[in-house]
Homo-oligomer: A and B are copies of this chain.
């Protein structure tokens, strides 16, 4: 095709505070966003970019790496580097610890411990945690509120392994990971979460002070140790009228180097 007339190359300022690889990445990004380089098209080979801009190939690679990190380009070994098709549908919704989520919303979360007890696993829990029936578990019931309004009702079960008082400080971080670390001998290394849409049942509605059958998010969390053995399970019911998940995705590189 040879549509690269090359001498339209913007210059790199080697004395700039901005790293050269960043400047180059920006130049290529602009060509893509402006449509000079179209999705599917092949970029010039690395060695050619290196000689064209009078920089080392490693620096070119660093620039391309940044663009690859945000999915604007991809490489195929032995073939070349290509412009990706924009896939603005591939978004991710972040869900951090709910305490953090609430802080992010600009409020101060408060945790109320509704109950803690040692229980024996029933059939259902035994199955979820892949344990024998009657294995002892620590069972937490928590209510998280902000500004006097209940937001979140949580039930968490941790495999019991050591006696530990409930510390006031724990309520500052009632995440499953933290509870398991405090109340179990296991070191959690893996976690699985499932997000469901549901409606509040009578009990949940009462606790959350919403109407029965109001929409809620239900987040289940499984926690595993480094041998993939389950060590905890939790279920959080969040008010649908107070939580939503937002995600942004951009066909730009703005995320890097903020």
Contact = CB atoms under 8 A, between A and B. Distances in A.
Interface string A183-209: 000011111111111110000000000
* Assembly stoichiometry (copies): 2
A43 to B, nearest CB: 19
B246 A192 contact: yes
A118 interface: no
Nearest to A33: B226
A95 B88 contact: no
A86 interface: yes
Given A35-B187, A90-B96, A217 B244 contact: no
Given A92-B95, A94-B90, A215-B198, A190 B245 contact: no
A93 B195 contact: yes
A191 B244 contact: no
A238 B243 CA distance: 17
A186 to B, nearest CB: 12
Contacts of A195: 93, 244-247
A53 interface: no
Given A97-B89, A189-B250, A197 B197 contact: yes
A51 interface: no
A89 B213 CA distance: 27
Interface of A: 33, 35, 58, 86-98, 100, 175-177, 187-199, 213-217, 223, 226, 238, 240, 243-252
29 contacts: A33-B187, A58-B58, A87-B97, A88-B175, A88-B177, A89-B98, A89-B177, A89-B191, A90-B95, A90-B97, A92-B92, A93-B193, A93-B195, A189-B250, A189-B251, A190-B251, A193-B246, A193-B247, A193-B249, A194-B245, A195-B244, A195-B245, A196-B240, A196-B244, A197-B238, A197-B240, A199-B213, A213-B213, A215-B216
